[in-house]
A and B are shown apart, each in its own frame.
Chain A
Amino acid sequence: MTPSTDSFASEPTNSVPAISARGLVKTFTGRSGTVEAVRGVDLTVRQGEVFGFLGPNGAGKSTTVRMLTTLTGITGGTATVAGIDVAKDPDGVRHRIGVALQEAGLDMRQTGRELVVLQARLFGLSRADASKRAEELLELVELTDAADRLIKGYSGGMKRRLDLASALVHRPDVLFLDEPTTGLDPASRLVVWDEVRRINAKGTTVFLTTQYLEEADQLCERLAIIDDGKIVTEGTPASLKADLKARRGLESDPTLDDVFLDVTGRQRERRAGEVSEVAS
């Protein structure tokens, strides 16, 4: 793992970290054999920060998120979220987290309002309180006008915002956003960024996975890069860039893109006008 220049400065200050993982391992066994998707991840996310979790496709980002959000069993290691052991008390964790996964999984046969109300009721709110909370959240994500339309008619950006709203019904301590802007147009992406900032400003810790380095640079106070199931570097965006500049003796300031390519040992090639990532 590449050390960051301010690794001590970025150590959590709160006694109970929002997320803590030690030696997290996930293996999948199928007909074609055993695949080790996550191979000993150590993470500490402090309360109130926006933490970015980056990595190439298949690096283990989503599997790590699925373990932390109780959706996938942990093969090895330990993890706590909001101070609660994920393996020992998954229901306790579920009470404290909000989850918006890849592809905005929504029930297309419901209206936006029905979906948020349902989510709130599953978190124990009464019908009246759930309706009130849905109203607040739909207003927050600017979907009040579309609230009574079926979700199948929503645009990609609207679905993402609705997914965000439904993840916030119970005022979670930690919000997991798994690639929240993948597939969105630039304008919709900016709207989601604003929402994330607004949510974080209210004190919610945000754990964000993304493939967009610009997104991580814009939103995250600290980030970790995972590759091949292991964390390869961790720090603030500024510290990671400064570290690369110092290590490589670069004259110009590197971007987070350069950091990513450096630590994952990848290069970018332009083929037929498309930029693609290749292993070096």
Chain B
Amino acid sequence: MKTVLILGERAVREAKRTPDALLPTLLIPIFFLIVNTGQAAKIFPTGSTPFLEGQSYAAFQLPATLLLAASFGTAALYLVEEIENGYFDKLRATPISRGSLAMGRLSAEALKSTLMTIVILLIAFPFGIRIASGPIGVVLLVILTAGWAVGYSGFLQFVALKTRNAAATNSAGLIFFPLLFLTPNFVPRSLLARPMEIAATLNPVTYMMEALRSLILVDLDWVVIGKGFAVVAGFVLITVFVNIKTMAKYD
């Protein structure tokens, strides 16, 4: 654990020194929030749209924004850079566990995502968005989003370890977009056309989105929240496991 924190601290220091890499990961999701809300807010007015639970359409769109921001981790691309310049070998030659090596940058992604989520919420609050589940809900929302950031960055880090190629790693990151559009992104699942509803039901990201949305719009609905946490926990476990396995076999 200590070595995870040491490597995580380095990754945070690195992020602070490269704000130009961090800024788009905040601005692009906010851009999507504004554009999506602008395009559909009139179709779904607050007063006559039951699924908004009395909030604006922006509140309904907020989970997609948070997930998008959490999917823009830089861990994998920095890892490719380190593989290419040889520093990764230097780290591999130290007696730290391969698990620590895998988790170092991912722990920094969790922290970065936490800060990013807080910033997005602070931007959203003046526009009337409220977290219906209260302070506990805010904490759960932050944890859930940070968990997603770790899982998704872990997936990209796995691609980086396998391909050792920046272009391939970057391309793998785009997988999030089809996954996002196969969720109840614009309307609840029950309002989707049947084929889309089936696709969304099979898509694990749906349960993440519904958990976040429930925290924002409803209250502490533990069944929905539980499904979101189960998806994140499974995702993190799988990606960390494959990362450790790949690091151990790395030649």
Contacts and interface: CB of A to CB of B under 8 A. Distances in A.
Interface in A121-174: 121-124, 150, 163, 166
Interface stretch (A46-54, A93-101, A209-217, A247-255): A93-101
B94 A94 contact: yes
Interface stretch (A5-13, A65-73, A183-191): A65-73
A94 B94 CA distance: 6
Interface stretch (B35-43, B47-55, B80-88, B194-202): B80-88
Nearest to A98: B93
B87 A106 contact: yes
B13 A105 contact: no
B53 to A, nearest CB: 45
A121 B88 CA distance: 16
Given A99-B93, A103-B86, A105-B85, A110 B13 contact: yes
Interface in A57-98: 66, 69-73, 91-92, 94-95, 97
Interface in A237-251: none
B85 A108 contact: yes
A22 interface: no
Interface string B85-104: 11111111111100000000
B14 interface: yes
B86 A102 contact: yes
Interface size class of B (residues with CB under 8 A): 20 to 34
B6 A118 contact: yes
B14 A109 contact: yes
Interface string B239-251: 0000000000101
A122 B82 contact: no
Contacts of B89: 66, 71, 99, 101, 105
Nearest to B88: A105
A101 B96 CA distance: 18
A269 to B, nearest CB: 32
A213 B96 CA distance: 36
A97 B94 CA distance: 9
A262 interface: no
Given A72-B251, A91-B95, A109-B18, A118 B10 contact: yes
Given A94-B94, A99-B93, A122 B6 contact: yes
A107 B10 contact: yes
Given A94-B94, A99-B90, A122 B3 contact: yes
A204 interface: no
B91 A122 contact: yes
Contacts of B92: 70-71
Contacts of A101: 86, 89-90
A97 to B, nearest CB: 7
B86 A121 contact: no
A108 B89 CA distance: 15
B74 to A, nearest CB: 11
Contacts of A4: none
A180 to B, nearest CB: 13
Interface of A: 66, 69-73, 91-92, 94-95, 97, 99, 101-110, 114, 118-119, 121-124, 150, 163, 166
25 contacts: A66-B89, A69-B93, A70-B92, A70-B93, A71-B89, A71-B93, A92-B95, A94-B94, A95-B95, A101-B86, A103-B85, A103-B86, A105-B85, A105-B87, A106-B90, A107-B14, A107-B82, A109-B14, A110-B10, A122-B6, A122-B91, A122-B94, A122-B96, A123-B94, A124-B95
Can you list the 10 inter-chain pairs with the closest CB atoms, starting with the nearest? A105-B86, A94-B95, A105-B87, A99-B93, A122-B94, A91-B95, A109-B14, A95-B95, A105-B90, A121-B6
Given A94-B93, A106-B87, A109-B17, 16 more contacts: A66-B89, A70-B93, A71-B89, A91-B95, A95-B95, A101-B89, A101-B90, A105-B86, A105-B87, A105-B88, A109-B18, A119-B90, A122-B7, A122-B91, A124-B95, A163-B90
